[in-house]
């Protein structure tokens, strides 16, 4: 772990490099005077230290920083420079490989209803699943109790490709990005909750009425917003209301997708989970939705994402910040109003922290980023200088 002083020096020198790079051709920004200043240098500080494999971070009033740890299954709050553990039934969370205590969401009416939501592995009568649980936080922020089991039966196998990302859209709907559980048939099977983006009522757990298969006789199918995904790790809503998802490719083609209703995103691994097939296989029956950006070879393991808002971010304003695990960086993607990929920028200041998993926009517009190195992990705060 770097000490704060060393970090400050590092950030300064990287800021210089970043401003030089901003003037270089080929970064996708229009040329002209003032370009160097248009991409502000980024300041990176530690918001929450001393973590072990954190998955997600969200902000509660205070501000309090609410963090999930995947493998320890701890729910933690950082407040006034101290971290405390929230009483939570960690023992009932099943962890294996990529599955454990994963995404967390905070209800937009939290001040009134005290609700938060988790996506977590669980043990069932016949094996394991991934499930979405609503919790109510006590007044002292020391414990949660279960408010409602919203949705069970997201498939789990070894723990590989367990998803699972939560996003409360501005409509109030709860969106869930799921993994295919490394089972071949799941992504194209509309009666499996795996390899999907699901949409449901966050209070009742019922399927969202506007879903594309809302009138199906199959209950699971009524939850499906779209399908044909491998392992959705990021969900983020742009200012124009569009929702975007991010997922991992096998050895090539991580994808950023524009979420549509009823779309097939084309992942259909062959028998025995043969992953040599394309991330978007247009040879499948019917139309498939092409990715808005894909990595090519090799993959970067793109994960969580958040849209950047605010004029103080200069040319980063309106970009999609995407964390990468394998590549260990935060990248900023610009898409046009109609969703066409324009450019991607990787600030050097955000390539020095190892694997990065989740990105959350704080109330003041700063970005909160979780590291995923296994020890000495932390929540970083990224702000424009």
- Give the binding site for Ca ion (CB under 5 A): 265-266, 279-280, 282, 284
Min dist CB 238 to Ca ion, Å, is 19
Query: Closest-CB residue for Ca ion?
Result: 280
Closest approach of Ca ion to the CB of residue 253, in Å: 8
Compare residues 40 and 212 and give the one whose CB is closer to Ca ion: 212
Residue 157's alpha-carbon distances to 123, 126, 161, 354, in angstroms, are 11, 12, 9, 28
Q: What's CA 76's distance to the chain center, in Å?
A: 18
Task: State the minimum distance, in angstroms, from the CB of residue 59 to Ca ion.
Answer: 31
- Nearer Cβ to Ca ion, position 280 or 371? 280
CB of 344 to Ca ion, least distance (A): 18
CA distance 137 to 315: 38
183 Cα distance to chain centroid: 22
**C-beta closer to Ca ion: residue 94 or 265:** 265
Query: Of the two residues 47 and 280, which places its CB atom closer to Ca ion in the complex?
Result: 280
Query: Whose Cβ is closer to Ca ion: residue 143's or residue 277's?
Result: 277
Cβ closest to Ca ion, residue 245 vs residue 370: 245
Q: How far is the CB of 382 from Ca ion (least distance, A)?
A: 28
Q: Which CB atom, from 71 or from 281, has the smaller least distance to Ca ion? A: 281
Strand order across the 101-106 sheet: 101-106, 115-123, 128-137, 144-155
Q: Which two tokens stand for residue 363?
A: 């109330």
Q: Which of 334, 341, 293, 338 is nearest to 316 (CA)?
A: 334
Contact between residue 264 and residue 229 where contact means Cβ atoms under 8 Å apart:
no
* CB-based burial label for 91 (10 Å; 0-12, 13-18, 19+): exposed
Nearest of 27, 32, 26 to residue 316 by alpha carbon: 27
Q: Tell me the two tokens of residue 252.
A: 């090539």
| Cis peptide leading into residue 63 (ω within 30°) | yes
Nearest distance from C-beta of residue 278 to Ca ion, angstroms: 8
Q: Tokens 């005077």 — which residue?
A: 33
Residue 285 CB, shortest distance to Ca ion, in Å, is: 6
* Number of helices (H), then strands (E), in the chain: 4, 24
CB 116 within 8 A of CB 137: yes
Structure tokens at 366: 């700063």
Distance, CA of 189 to chain centre = 23
CB nearer Ca ion, residue 55 or residue 265: 265
Residue 272 CB, shortest distance to Ca ion, in Å, is 20
């Amino acid at each position: 772990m770097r000490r704060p002083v060393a970090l400050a020096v590092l950030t300064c020198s990287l800021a210089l490099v970043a401003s030089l790079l901003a003037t270089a051709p080929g970064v996708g920004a229009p040329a002209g005077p003032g370009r160097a200043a248009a991409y502000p240098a980024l300041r990176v500080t530690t918001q929450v230290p001393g973590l072990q494999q954190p998955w997600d971070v969200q902000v509660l009033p205070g501000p309090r920083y609410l963090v999930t740890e995947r493998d320890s299954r701890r729910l933690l709050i950082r407040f006034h420079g101290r971290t405390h553990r929230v009483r939570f039934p960690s023992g009932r969370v099943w962890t294996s490989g990529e599955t454990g205590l994963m995404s967390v969401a905070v209800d937009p009416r939290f001040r009134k209803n005290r609700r938060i939501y988790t996506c977590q592995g669980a043990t069932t009568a016949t094996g394991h699943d991934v499930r979405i649980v609503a919790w109510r936080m006590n007044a002292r922020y020391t414990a949660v109790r279960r408010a409602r089991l919203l949705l069970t039966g997201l498939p789990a196998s070894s723990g590989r490709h367990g998803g699972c990302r939560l996003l409360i859209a501005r409509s109030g709907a709860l969106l869930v990005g799921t993994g295919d559980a490394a089972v071949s048939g799941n992504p194209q099977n509309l009666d499996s909750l795996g390899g999907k983006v699901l949409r449901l009522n966050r209070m009742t757990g019922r399927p969202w009425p506007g879903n594309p298969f809302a009138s199906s006789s199959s209950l699971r199918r009524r939850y499906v917003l779209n399908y044909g995904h491998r392992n959705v790790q990021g969900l983020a809503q742009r200012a124009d209301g569009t929702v975007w998802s991010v997922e991992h490719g096998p050895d090539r083609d991580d994808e950023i997708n524009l979420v549509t209703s009823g779309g097939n995103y084309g992942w259909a691994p062959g028998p025995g989970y043969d992953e040599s097939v394309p991330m978007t296989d247009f040879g499948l029956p019917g139309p498939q939705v092409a990715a808005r950006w894909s990595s090519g070879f090799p993959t970067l393991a793109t994960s969580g994402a958040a849209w950047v808002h605010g004029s103080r971010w200069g040319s980063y304003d309106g970009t999609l910040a995407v964390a990468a695990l394998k590549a260990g960086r935060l990248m900023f993607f610009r898409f046009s109003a109609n969703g066409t990929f324009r450019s991607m920028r990787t600030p050097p200041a955000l390539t020095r922290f190892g694997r990065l998993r989740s990105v959350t926009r704080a109330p003041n517009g700063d970005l909160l980023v979780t590291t995923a190195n296994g020890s000495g992990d932390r929540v970083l705060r990224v702000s424009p200088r």
